Amino acid sequence: MKKVPKQLISLRVNGTDYELAVSPNRTLLEVLREDLMLKGVKEGCDDGSCGTCTILLDGAPVRSCLYLAVEATGKELTTIEGLAEGDRLHPIQQAFVDHGAIQCGYCTPGMILTAKALLDRNPAPTDQDIKIAISGNFCRCTGYNKIVTAIKMAGQSAVRR
């Protein structure tokens, strides 16, 4: 069988630059988890339906299981590991803790990054805005009310700062 050559890609992930040689068929999810060991990026369905693998690509949420790593070359990526500052949680992370929006936590990284993209463009979203934004992120544990409350409160605390 013919071997497909690897391609050299450059990614900026959570403020750090990486040059990686990757096979052209590898997903961003695989490269982030397996090559960069960013295990906060969660694998759920692996077919684009659950939102668990969501990361930010140039500030916009994308499903990393549907995105080829080679397509991300030259882009700026944010994973959940990029949000906290040292021991200090990002305000959205803190709001999820404060409002009981985490149970098993499996959906949480993708949910929080989706929320960040929303709050970056609209710090005072309505409940409806939030429900639409997170409609592709499935949570099997909490129901969604606490998640909606946490995102709303995170937006309000950002407006107050």
Where does this chain bind ligand FES (CB under 6 A)? 43-46, 48-53, 63, 65, 102-108, 139-142
Closest to ligand FES by CB, 28 or 160: 28
Q: What is the separation, in whole angstroms, between the first and last Cα of the chain?
A: 59
Count how many residues are written for the chain: 161
Shortest gap between Cβ of 33 and ligand FES (angstroms)?
Answer: 11
Query: Which residue pairs, CB below 8 angstroms and at least 24 apart, start in 18-24?
Result: 20/69, 22/69, 22/70, 24/68, 24/70
State the nearest-atom distance from the C-beta of 110 to ligand FES, in Å.
8
Three-state secondary structure call for residue 7: strand
In whole angstroms, the minimum distance from the beta carbon of 14 to ligand FES comes to 19
Closest to ligand FES by CB, 49 vs 123, is 49
